[in-house]
Amino acid sequence: MSTTMRRCAGALLAAVLVTVAILAHTGNQVQAAAAVRVLPLGDSITDGFNVPGGYRIDLWQKVVAGGYTVDFVGSQTNGPASLGDRNHEGHSGWRIDQIDANIVNWLNTFQPRTILLHIGTNDIFQNRDLPNAPNRLAALIDRITTTAPDAKLFVATIVPAGSASTDAQVRSFNAAIPQIVQTRANAGRQVYLVNMYNALTAADLADGVHPNATGYSKMATTWYNALLAVPGSLTDGGTTPTPTPTTTPTGGPTVPPTTPPTTPPTNPPAGCTASVSLNSWNGGFVATVRVTAGSSGTNGWTVSAALPSGTTVTNAWNTQRSGNSGVVQFSNVSYNGRIAAGQSTEFGFQGTGSGVGLGTSCVAR
């Protein structure tokens, strides 16, 4: 081969390598741009004390299995190999005020689309001005929604405590959160309540404070169901992927395959069911209602709740309410009416009196 030909071949090879590098870099940029930035935010429970990675491990697996592309963001990093993205903003021992002091910088740095907030446990265990803990949480929520008005903020009630006396303080703190969230949602802010307290029991705690592996897995399921209920929280623009799941999704029954009839039925019946879980204390309760679509899915739904005598609903979230005693009707809001077959969404309400014996029925549209 002549010197001239060798030079031409070398130049061509260099050009090809540069082109490949540019295409690879561009592909990485497109992939990063497509990922929805999710900020796990809170204390050691977000960090994953006892189980490094905590709820983020199973949440990541569920998100990936669901066909979503997300980017966990934050200045902290930990977790096992099974956690594909280990970034977060969980700080062991931190209270609400400490998160509040840093949140603006984190929001400006990471610009999340979706925020998962679980905070307040250390305020209780450190006995930090407990009567004003809900006010501190409200101020933090306001700072987040003002700094990042386009972000979707999911605010969790905090998990139970192992001690009965401490758990009573947890319930008192949690009881204030629905109204805090609802007031801001009514003002047009993208704030959503997640009832994490009812998802776990004391048996799901490793040390009376932090969840064990089972508890963290339950947290992951609760976060994931909440994210699915709000369009755009896991996707850029609100579109939803249609993956083939490798495991049965939680929140609904599995419908076994059947042989198609020779004459397909027209207008298959729509339907839904409603199940209730209660967090009760002396003189009041919080009810979490799970609405599960039947085989046809729903475009909307209404749940009728027959309240026990003497019971009054004081507020509700993720729903439109008609009435406050007797038979109260709860209907979907704009973002949770459409439910795929076998899938679920949740709403909740708080009441005075006793919720024991509460009966529900569901009508789909």
User: Which CATH number goes with the domain that contains 289?
Assistant: 2.60.40.290
The stretch 238-248 carries a mean pLDDT of 39
The stretch 94-98 carries a mean pLDDT of 97
pLDDT for res 280: 73
The stretch 70-81 carries a mean pLDDT of 96
- Asked whether residue 189 is assigned to any structural domain, the reply reads yes
203 and 65 belong to one structural domain: yes
205 and 284 belong to one structural domain: no
360 and 221 belong to one structural domain: no
166 and 313 belong to one structural domain: no
pLDDT for res 347: 85
CB 183 within 8 A of CB 317: no
Neighbouring-strand partners of residue 156: 194
Question: What's the pLDDT tens digit per position in 280-291?
Answer: 777 778 788 989
Which amino acid is located at 5 in the chain? Answer: M
**What is the rounded CA–CA span in Å between residue 326 and residue 150?**
38
Domain end position, chosen among 193, 228, 263: 228
Domain with 70 in it: what CATH number? 3.40.50.1110
77 and 201 belong to one structural domain: yes
Question: What residues have CB less than 8 Å from 185, skipping those under 6 apart?
Answer: 191, 192, 317
77 and 176 belong to one structural domain: yes
89 and 183 belong to one structural domain: yes
Domain end position, chosen among 228, 262, 285: 228
- Asked whether residue 90 is assigned to any structural domain, the reply reads yes
71 and 220 belong to one structural domain: yes
**Alpha-helical segments (H) within the chain:** 3-34, 44-47, 55-65, 96-110, 121-125, 133-147, 164-186, 213-228
Question: What's the pLDDT tens digit per position in 168-221?
Answer: 999 999 999 999 999 999 999 999 999 999 999 999 999 999 999 999 999 999
- Asked whether residue 329 is assigned to any structural domain, the reply reads yes
Q: Which two tokens stand for residue 133?
A: 């803990």
Q: How does residue 244 score in pLDDT terms, banded at 50, 70 and 90? A: very low
Domain holding 164, by residue range, is: 31-228
Domain end position, chosen among 228, 260, 281: 228
170 and 224 belong to one structural domain: yes
CB 358 within 8 A of CB 326: no
Q: Domain tally for the chain? A: 2
pLDDT for res 263: 36
Is residue 24 pLDDT above 60, yes or no?
no
pLDDT for res 278: 82
Q: How does residue 354 score in pLDDT terms, banded at 50, 70 and 90? A: confident
195 and 324 belong to one structural domain: no
Is residue 257 pLDDT above 50, yes or no?
no
223 and 289 belong to one structural domain: no
- Asked whether residue 85 is assigned to any structural domain, the reply reads yes
The stretch 13-40 carries a mean pLDDT of 54
- Asked whether residue 143 is assigned to any structural domain, the reply reads yes
- Helices 133-147 and 164-186: angle between axes, nearest 10 degrees: 40
Q: How many CB atoms lie under 10 A from the CB of residue 120?
A: 30
The pTM of this model reads 0.66
pLDDT for res 152: 97
- Asked whether residue 14 is assigned to any structural domain, the reply reads no
pLDDT for res 270: 62
